[in-house]
Every structure is written in C-alpha cells, then in structure tokens.
Amino acid sequence: MARIGMVNYINVAPIYEIWKERSFPTHWQVIEEQPSRLNVLLAEEGIDMGFVSSYAYAARPERYQILADLSISATGPVGSVFLFSELPPESLDGQRVLLTRQSDTSIRLVKIILEEFYRVRPRYTVGDAYNEQTKEGAANAVLAIGDDALRLNAEQRYPVQLDLGEIWFKTTGLPFVFSVCAVREAFLADQAEEARQVRQALVDCRQQGALRMAEICDRVARRIPMDCETCSRYLMGIEHDLTPIKIQALERFFQYLIDRGEAPAGALPLKIFR
C-alpha cells in the first residue's frame, strides 16, 4: 500500500483533477484532508507521503524527505492565504487575532509577518475563521486559508485584506512555499522506487493540468462559488513546482523558524528525494 495525502482545496485542482482521470495501481490510495490533518496523518504514519504544510517537514526533519519538483507555492500574491483585519497590521499590537486551525505553515508565517516585519505582538486565539464575525467579541483580525479565504475575500467582510504571499515576497524578494510533498523516511527505506513512481505521476499530472487550466477552472469554480474568470486568475497564481529559488525560499522560512525556536536546527539543510 502507498497512501498518498491530497489537500482537499481547489489550489491543488491542476494536479488532482488530472489524477482522478487516470488509472494507477490499485494499491495507491489517496486520502483527502485539510493541510493540518494531513500533517497529523503523516506524523502518525496514517499516510506514507503527500502534500503537507511546509512546517510539518521543518518540525520533524529527521522523519521525512521532500519530493523534488512538487509544492503548493506562489511568487507574490497567493490569493488564498489572508489576514483579514478591521485594523491596519501595524495597529494590531495587543489586539486579538484569530488563527485558522487548518494550516500550521500559515500560522507560523502570519506570526513572522506581524512580529518580525510589522513589529507588533497581537493576542492569538485559534478557531473557525469563516464564522468568526458571527460571534460576540469577535477578533480584530482573522487568518484564513484555502476555500475559506476565497469566500471571505469574495464577500469583502473586512476592510483590510493582507495577502501573506504578497507581503512575504515584498519583504524578502522570494516566493513562499506553503506546502511540500513529503515522504516518510521509513517508507523510503522499504519502497524508494514506489515513492519515485508516485512522485513522477504527480509531476506528470501537474504538467498536464497546466495545459488544461481553463477546463479545470470550469470544473471547480462552483465549489466556492466564484466565476470561471476569477477562478482562473487565482489558479494561475498558484505554483506547484519546487525550483531552486523556492528551495532558497524554504531555507529562509525555516531559518526564521529555527531562530524563533519553532523548529530544530536539523530542519536545514533540506533533504530532497528525486
């Protein structure tokens, strides 16, 4: 059995919609979940490989390798990882900021952006970003990702909408890698060739999906819902490769985590499986 974790957001549609059309060995089992749940499954050996938060690798580097040429990343605005706020970010010192439960990487990124780039120290809580405004004592800002972020952006609930990929790019000059495709070292020890075949299949789907973007947008836009043109603009901004500059960007992010005591020094250098 090769158990493959797949994010259940439309940001992987250019890969996953093609994957679902194809025939693969019956022992390749796909498990769909949100990023934070896939992190747990990989750590608990509930999956063997898959798209997990970049932070999941940084937190346990001795247990994983990163599959080459696969990611969920953006060079500039990502369109689905936002800090939605009633206040400008520089005014959030001491204010309540609600963090989504759905992504470990985005939680670390927003803290780096607020604390290191804007030099503010909010009060953080964790909860349901999409439904936060319906509660009494709602947060001054919420971190939302994926389809929740797309919906909040479309509804224009908040006056300030900070795209975290864009802020990272403007500050560092680098892309941001939100998710990597990681594989367990224990799985590689027994089934390295199987992992290599899965990696190549994912890369092949990614390449084919890029050629069929209009068709894929037509399939998935209604999930938000959004119109096909908006969906196309969004998906064209999502990247699924892992180029040398993105490896450099991962290294920069991981160095922040190490310096902040949020990841072990062993997170660097990266281990890439080809």
Tens digit of pLDDT at every position of the chain (274 positions):
999 999 888 999 999 999 999 999 999 999 999 888 999 999 999 999 999 999 999 999 999 999 999 999 999 999 989 999 999 999 999 999 999 888 889 999 999 999 999 999 999 999 887 776 545 457 899 999 888 888 888 888 899 999 999 999 999 999 999 999 999 999 999 999 999 999 999 999 999 999 999 999 999 998 888 888 989 988 999 999 999 999 999 999 999 999 999 999 999 999 999 9
In degrees to the nearest 10, what's the CA dihedral of 72, 1, 104, 9? 50
- Write the CATH number of the domain with boundaries 2-74+176-273: 3.40.190.10
- Residues ≥6 apart with Cβ < 8 Å to 77: 163, 165, 166, 169, 237
Domains in the chain: boundaries? 2-74+176-273, 81-172
Determine the Cα–Cα distance for residues 196 and 274; give it in Å rounded to an integer: 7
Q: Is 81-172 the same fold as 2-74+176-273?
A: yes
The three-state secondary structure class of 198 is helix
Contact 111, 160 (CB under 8 A): no
Query: Do 177 and 249 meet the contact criterion of CB atoms below 8 Å apart?
Result: yes
What CATH number is given for 81-172 in this structure?
Answer: 3.40.190.10
